[in-house]
Amino acid sequence: MRRPGRDLHLGMKMPKTERQVDLAGDEVRALFEELLPAAEIEAFAEEVGHVERERKVNVVLFCRAAVISANTPTGGMQADAMRAYERVGGTKLARSSWYQRFDESFEKLMLKLAQRALEKARTEILDLPGILGGVKDWLIVDSTTAKMRDALKRDWPGTGDYAALKVHQTVSVGCGSPIRYHISPAREHDTNHLVIDESWRGYGLLADLGYASLDRLRACMQHDVRFVIRLKENWKPKVLAIGRGELTRAFFSGTDLDAMIDNGVLQLDGNCVDLDVRLGSGKVSLDVRLVGVPSPKGYCFFLTNLPPALGPQQVASLYRVRWEIELTNKLEKSVYRLDQPKGERTCSVKALLHASLIATVITALLVHRHRLKTRPTHARKPPTQAPLHARLVALALVGMSFDIARALQLDGKEADERWSHVATVLCSSGRDPNWRRRPSVLDTLRGYRRQPLVRPAQCRQSASGS
């Protein structure tokens, strides 16, 4: 029989007076109205010249329907936007007439809204406890590819005989949301779309090997940007000093790392290594820190300019946070259909991409604000309430997309009741079911403790006695 105040699965006492703290309806409504404000939509429409097309179409409903349509099961197509528009009270139009509305002026309007959403994400209060601190924010860069109709191959050439574009994104670790993005033909290499300049000063960079270059690392050093990046196989670092590692004999400063390992001078015996190394040669050489961490597949080596106060395991944990952008890309494709823009014109495709990215920002900020609201007030106290999972929140938004669209048109008591229902569903359906058993690396760094599945002692004794 289950004992009061004890979790049967985890075998740990839970506070009897613990109260769930969730987002309120007015908080959810405020976020949607901040990112899809009626007054600014109308102002942007006038600025880009879209108002002349408002004889039959309400521009505010039109823009909101385009974002809401990113949540529908078929996702992100003009037909879905038309159905969303009609279901929230818009005038019914012929499909051909509707498609014509996705013109260049509407693409510019959606870009304005997307830029406003990103600007809002950049002003959020950040959540960077522990080793995540020491920088203004950790920024993750990566790209995701979206295929398009073959008719657009001339404008958007892919790496093969097809049309495709890349969405290059910068995701904030502090708030979990994209804060910058731009679009390019998929044929262009990722490294050409990341420039480290003065705007990066004080930030941290997490990137995969597609962005690794000596010039980029040198720019990080010049502009005071902290970085953690994997060591490329064709780079030959020269060891200058050893902070941690097992040596079998003395070595000369400047010895090749591979030679030290091959000759057994540096033992990779399952312990971490921490070295000062030099990359390149002559005037273009660069002195950085290299750490090696054992893994089931062998040693992983990371280059960084973080201070030695952060050990190799901590540096490796920071790099693993880079996986958050992969989850963002997966969310955009699997739920918000970023990879399925079926427009036949470049302007309509880009308008739908902007709409999908706005939906991603909304989801990320809902999760982030819930985390800020529910985190413990004491820094050393571990979180005891399940965080929201971005994908589960997005799926909950899918089921309530038309309810949200209607709620945006209401005022007074009816609106309060509808937004309260939306908030309740989001917080109940969006909780991470694995927050105790399998917290992510980022959740672990934020204080969520991994708890094994251990049965209480009473249950173990009963099982052994039987």
Domain locations along the chain = 25-120+343-445, 229-312
pLDDT tens, position by position, for the chain (466 residues)? 333 333 333 333 444 444 577 899 999 999 999 999 999 998 998 888 776 555 567 888 888 888 877 666 554 467 777 777 777 777 777 777 777 778 888 899 999 999 999 999 999 999 999 999 999 999 999 999 988 888 888 888 998 888 899 999 999 999 999 999 999 999 999 999 999 999 999 999 999 999 999 999 999 999 999 999 999 988 999 999 999 998 888 888 899 999 999 998 999 989 999 999 999 888 889 999 999 999 988 999 999 999 999 999 999 999 999 999 999 999 888 888 777 666 778 888 888 889 889 999 999 999 999 999 988 877 678 888 889 999 999 999 888 888 888 888 888 999 999 999 999 999 999 999 888 888 899 999 998 877 665 555 555 555 555 4
User: Could you tell me whether strands 178-185 and 163-172 are parallel, antiparallel, or unpaired per DSSP bridges?
Assistant: antiparallel
pLDDT number for residue 11? 38
pLDDT number for residue 325? 95
User: Could you tell me whether strands 226-230 and 204-206 are parallel, antiparallel, or unpaired per DSSP bridges?
Assistant: parallel
Tokens of 355: 């709409």
pLDDT number for residue 225? 98
pLDDT number for residue 14? 40
Q: Model pTM?
A: 0.88
CA 312/CA 301 separation, integer angstroms: 9
CA 107/CA 263 separation, integer angstroms: 60
User: Taking a C-beta distance cutoff of 8 angstroms, is the pair 13, 466 a contact?
Assistant: no
3-state secondary structure of 137: coil
Q: To which residue do tokens 């400063």 refer? A: 253
pLDDT number for residue 74? 53
3-state secondary structure of 461: helix
Helices 25-35 and 104-122 meet at what angle, rounded to 10? 130
Residue 407 contacts by C-beta under 8 Å, 6 or more apart in sequence? 29, 415, 418, 419, 422
Strand stretches in 340-409, DSSP E: none
pLDDT number for residue 183? 94
CA 2/CA 8 separation, integer angstroms: 7
pLDDT number for residue 86? 76
Rounded to 10 degrees, what is the CA torsion of 167, 333, 375, 369?
70
Write 419-424 long-range contacts (CB < 8 A, 24+). 419/25, 419/26, 419/28, 419/29, 420/24, 420/25, 421/25, 422/25, 422/28, 423/22, 423/23, 423/24, 423/25, 423/27, 423/28, 424/22, 424/25
CA 28/CA 346 separation, integer angstroms: 33
User: Taking a C-beta distance cutoff of 8 angstroms, is the pair 131, 318 a contact?
Assistant: yes
Nearest by Cα to 366 from 23, 21, 126: 23
CA 321/CA 318 separation, integer angstroms: 5
User: Taking a C-beta distance cutoff of 8 angstroms, is the pair 351, 66 a contact?
Assistant: yes
Residue 156 contacts by C-beta under 8 Å, 6 or more apart in sequence? 148, 163, 164, 165, 185, 186, 346
